[in-house]
């Protein structure tokens, strides 16, 4: 896993799913039955262990969000570390609950880890990996759209930033060149080239009358002309370095 869904809301839902799964697993499978626990105790074990899992995963959710916002990326190493920390916190807290007057467990900590936590982790880990991987698909897609407005109220063009090819000066108007379903289109808007450049600083000026979206640069046609997606623009000497830097 090389991505992370940092949403606390989504991970709370994952925590609830894990909690319910652990309850069902502990109550029906009884992975550490040692003959001293009646039904009432097993209910306490199942409920307690599932609630503790939910709380531990909640802690992990906040910790991983802090780490992700600090490093701004995720890795398999961080994912493994996250699961490792979860099981450490889970093992300690469930053992304290297990040894409390509520359960009165008989295992020592080493045996508790090997007989309960280790066995449980072998079953739980694939589930956790599966739901965390699925959570990545829930990350909202980034809105790539931009809105270009002119002086007139009806002068509005909303397109994806990636579809904008370039802008040309046309007296008191600017002509916007863009792609619509892969086809080249244009629209006149009453505005100035300077204002467009100020509002959309990702555009590069290549001529006193032309701005381009650098992602659509293809190649040089000759020393004073560049090829863009489905069109070409002239390049003046004063702005040639802007294009050479692409």
198 and 191 in contact (C-beta within 8 Å)?
no
Spell out the alpha helix ranges (H) of 2-117.
8-24, 39-71, 76-98, 109-112
Determine whether 80 is exposed, middle or buried from the number of CB atoms within 10 Å of its CB (0-12, 13-18, 19+).
exposed
Q: In which element (H, E) is residue 131 found? A: helix 118-136
User: Per-residue pLDDT for the chain (246 aa), expressed as one digit of tens each?
Assistant: 568 888 999 999 999 999 999 998 888 877 655 556 678 888 898 999 999 999 999 999 999 999 998 888 899 999 999 999 999 999 999 999 999 999 888 889 999 999 888 988 888 899 999 999 999 888 877 778 999 999 988 889 999 999 999 999 988 999 999 999 999 999 999 999 999 999 999 999 999 999 999 999 999 999 999 999 999 999 999 998 888 887
The pTM score is 0.61
Domains of the chain and any CATH numbers? 8-136 (no CATH), 145-244 (2.40.50.1020)
Please give the radius of gyration of the chain, using alpha carbons only, rounded to the nearest integer: 30
């Amino acid at each position: 896993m090389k991505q992370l869904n940092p949403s606390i809301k989504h991970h709370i839902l994952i925590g609830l799913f894990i909690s319910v799964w652990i309850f069902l697993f502990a109550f029906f499978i009884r992975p550490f039955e040692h003959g001293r626990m009646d039904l009432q105790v097993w209910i306490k074990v199942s409920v307690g262990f599932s609630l503790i899992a939910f709380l531990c995963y909640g802690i992990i959710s906040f910790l991983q969000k802090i780490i992700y916002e600090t490093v701004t990326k995720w890795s398999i190493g961080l994912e493994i570390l996250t699961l490792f920390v979860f099981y450490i916190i889970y093992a300690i807290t469930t053992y304290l609950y297990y040894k409390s007057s509520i359960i009165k467990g008989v295992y020592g900590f080493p045996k508790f880890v090997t007989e309960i936590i280790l066995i449980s982790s072998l079953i739980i880990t694939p589930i956790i990996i599966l739901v965390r991987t699925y959570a990545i698909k829930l990350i909202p897609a980034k809105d790539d759209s931009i809105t270009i407005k002119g002086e007139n109220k009806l002068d509005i063009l909303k397109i994806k930033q990636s579809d904008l090819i370039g802008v040309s000066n046309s007296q008191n108007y600017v002509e916007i060149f863009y792609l619509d379903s892969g086809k080249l289109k244009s629209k006149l808007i009453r505005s100035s080239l300077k204002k467009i450049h100020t509002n959309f600083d990702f555009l590069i000026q290549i001529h006193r009358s032309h701005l381009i979206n650098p992602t659509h640069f293809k190649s040089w046609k000759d020393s004073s002309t560049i090829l863009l997606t489905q069109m070409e623009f002239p390049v003046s000497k004063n702005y040639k370095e802007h294009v050479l830097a692409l």
